[in-house]
Amino acid sequence: MIDVIVVRAGPNGLMLACELALAGVQPVVLERYAAPGGESRANGLVGQVVRLLDRRGLYARLSGESTPPVPQPAFTFGAFPLDLTMLAENPHYVLGVPQAQLEAELAARAAELGVDLRRGHEVVDLHQRPDGVEVTLADGTQLTSRFLVGADGGRSVVRRLAGIDFPGVSTDRSVSRTATVTVPASSLDPETGGLRVPGYGIVPPFQHTRTARGLIAWAPFPGRPAILSTTEWPDTPPSDETIMDLTELRASVARVLGADVPLDAPDGPGLLRRLTGRNTRVAARYRAGRVLLVGDAAHVHPAIGGPGLNLGLQDAVNLGWKLAATVRGWAPQGLLDTYEAERRPVAERVVMSTLAQTGLTGPGDEITGLRDLFAELLRKPEVTGHIAALMSGADVHYPADPADPLAGRCAPDVVVHGDHGPIRLAELTRAARPLLLDSTGAYAEVAAPWRDRVDVVTGPLEGTSATALLVRPDCFIAWSAGDADTLRAALTHHFGLPR
């Protein structure tokens, strides 16, 4: 019997497969398509997920940089520019890589870890048994696994077959158009990289710009074709039967800006996409017996602000170690159920954030008045800091012991000064094992009975006021320095009884 079947080899499914493999479980990934599609969907990673990728050794592979990620000085919220330089602690990270590159790197990492990725295998049915899940493929093949995870997107077949409701709201009023384009050199502002539009002004790069008629975003990615997108709210949306072309996008730009922009297609394949309406939904439950959901299979929301991969990849990392512990037999009672308890509230906050931004970018004088007020609020560092933490996921705090102020929070970028010199937490977490960081050496003996699943690293700690930290595989803090009894309780609560 297969331990875990993961359905679909998108970023979330591949990330989960890598996490399971690091934890000693060899999953099978079933991908319906015979080869990667290469379609450009997400164009980068936004938020704390960038730090997470660094802590798995993937940031350097994706960015080509040998140095750790650094926060970005600016971002955007609801078509407002955010000045993050005013913050004492900036939590916002950005990594500009297209989704196709992310998937390729995750697939390569999965192959290095021995993950069994089977392309051209489409799941069409499933039946749960007391000891596992029986999956039927399109060619009639049947496979059985202890657990099945649907990472198969907003139209998840796994979710439907498992009987999990997907409540929420669908609207058909908005129309978004996106394409890879080229523009004349005279249309580029040499100082900002923005789009110079006679009769309008400059459309700044890498942020949404709102007018009373719609929304526009200009993204001149280095080394690859620029992406231009618009959003409008027409009384009569175009028919889905008509194929979008650059003429349609150019007309949309002219309506939004009140001025024309010369557009051409890039050489080679490019993106040309129209989306009508929006879905905002969160699965009624993330688990039904031995079937679980991750990423867009569990939640869909407006894409504004780019939170999708920040949310989905961290779902995968939260689920990975808990599912592996359950398969390997050392998970404490109820550990797997904490996946939904911890991650569903995060999805609900992302939904709140994206709906708020969608409202702030809408048409009409009332929205303009609201935006004027919001612009005043964003001049306050405490407001900008709150928004930055919300958008980046830095405000995530899982339920934990209220007497432990650090428990349930993401671990800071600690440096341990050990016998062999300083080492970053990001270098210690690449194996995805629980860690006890002990500056005193007094706690190592307490954790010794868990040595088969918890690593102990001793040495002075830089970057935290705590003298010791117990860090979960997903890099959230399970315990900070207390006495031996509270450490034993935390070890048992998170990582089961010692062997």
- Residue 260 sits in the same domain as residue 294: no
- Cα separation of 52 and 455, whole Å? 19
Residue pLDDT, tens place only, 19-35: 999 999 999 999 999 99
Total number of domains constituting the chain: 3
Number of H helices, E strands in the chain: 13, 27
Q: How many angstroms separate the CA atoms of 373 and 143, rounded?
A: 57
Lowest mean pLDDT among 64-68, 269-273, 407-411: 269-273
DSSP assignments along 31-78, one per residue? ESSSS---------EESTHHHHHHTTT-HHHHH--SSPP---SEEEET
Task: Please state which of the ranges 145-154, 205-214, 434-443, 463-472 shows the lowest mean pLDDT.
Answer: 205-214
The overall average pLDDT reported for the chain is 94
- Euclidean distance between CA atoms 114 and 327, whole angstroms: 18
CA dihedral 235, 237, 238, 244 (to 10 degrees): 120
Tokens of 446: 């307490």
Same domain, 72 and 33: yes
Torsion (CA) 88, 435, 286, 155 in degrees, nearest 10: 70
- 231 pLDDT band, cuts 50/70/90, is very high
Are 43 and 59 in the same domain? yes
Q: How far is the C-alpha of 450 from the C-alpha of 492, rounded, in Å?
A: 9
CATH number of the domain that 197 lies in?
A: 3.30.70.2450
pLDDT in tens, 311-359: 999 999 999 999 999 999 999 999 999 999 999 999 999 999 999 998 9
Condensed to tens digits (0 to 9), the pLDDT of residues 349-402 reads 999 999 999 899 988 889 999 999 999 999 999 999 999 999 999 999 999 988
For β-strands 214-219 and 287-288, DSSP reports them as: unpaired
Q: Which bin fits 114, alpha (ψ -120 to 50), beta or left (φ > 0)? A: left
Contact 94, 72 (CB under 8 A): yes
Q: What six digits make up the tokens of 76? A: 């955007």
Q: With respect to residue 100, please indicate whether it lies within any of the assigned structural domains.
A: yes
> Are residue 148 and residue 29 in the same domain, yes or no?
yes
Judge whether 190 lies within some domain. Answer: yes
Sequence-ordered list of residues with C-beta below 8 angstroms from that of 12, at least 6 positions apart, any chain = 151, 294, 295, 296, 309, 312, 313, 315, 316
158 & 284 share domain: yes
Task: Please determine, for residue 238, whether its predicted confidence score (pLDDT) is greater than 90.
Answer: no
CATH code of residue 97: 3.50.50.60
DSSP classification of residue 313:
H
Instruction: Please say if the pLDDT value at position 40 is more than 70.
Output: no
Q: Let me know whether 37 and 148 are in one domain.
A: yes
Instruction: Tell me how far CA of residue 289 lies from CA of 112, 123, 149, 337, 350, in angstroms.
Output: 31, 18, 11, 10, 26
Q: Which domain holds residue 84?
A: 2-168+280-392
pLDDT of res. 38: 62
DSSP state of 244: P
Q: Which two tokens stand for residue 177?
A: 């158009």
Which tokens sit at 400? 């934990």
Question: Final residue of a domain: which of 279, 311, 338?
Answer: 279
Res 482: pLDDT: 84
Per-residue pLDDT, 454: 97
Q: What is residue 101's predicted lDDT score, i.e. its pLDDT?
A: 92
Same domain, 252 and 330: no
What CATH number does the domain containing 480 carry? 3.40.30.120
252, 279, 306 - which closes a domain: 279
- Tell me what percent of the residues of the chain surpass a pLDDT of 70: 99
Q: What is the pLDDT of residues 483-492, one digit of tens each?
A: 999 999 999 9
The percentage of residues in the chain with a pLDDT greater than 90, rounded to a whole number, is 83
**Measuring CA to CA, how many Å separate 406 from each of 40, 239, 310, 451, 479?**
39, 53, 22, 23, 7
pLDDT of residue 346: 97
- Tell me, what's the pLDDT at 224? 85
Assess if residue 398 is contained within a domain.
no
Residue 496 in tokens = 């089961």
Give yes or no for a contact between 257 and 114, defined as CB atoms under 8 angstroms apart.
Answer: no
- Per the domain annotation, does 9 fall within a domain? yes
Q: Is residue 401 part of a domain?
A: no
Q: Within this chain, do residues 148 and 104 fall inside the same structural domain, yes or no?
A: yes
Last residue of a domain, one of 248, 279, 310: 279
Q: Residues 152-197: pLDDT tens digits?
A: 999 999 999 999 999 998 887 789 999 999 999 999 999 889 999 9
CA distance 394 to 392: 5
Sorted by sequence, the CB contacts under 8 Å of residue 290 that are 6+ apart come out as: 128, 132, 133, 146, 147, 148
Q: Are 368 and 297 found together in one domain?
A: yes
- Each residue's pLDDT tens digit, 252-299: 999 999 999 999 988 877 889 998 888 899 999 999 999 999 999 999
Q: Which of 44-48, 143-147, 360-364 is predicted least confidently?
A: 360-364
- What is the average per-residue pLDDT within 1-5? 97
Question: For residue 404, is it within any domain?
Answer: no
Amino acid symbol at 232: E
Is a pLDDT exceeding 70 seen at residue 39? no
Note whether 347 and 328 are same-domain residues. Answer: yes
Same domain, 388 and 448: no
Co-location of 122 and 42 in the same domain? yes
* Residue 272 is assigned to a structural domain of this protein: yes
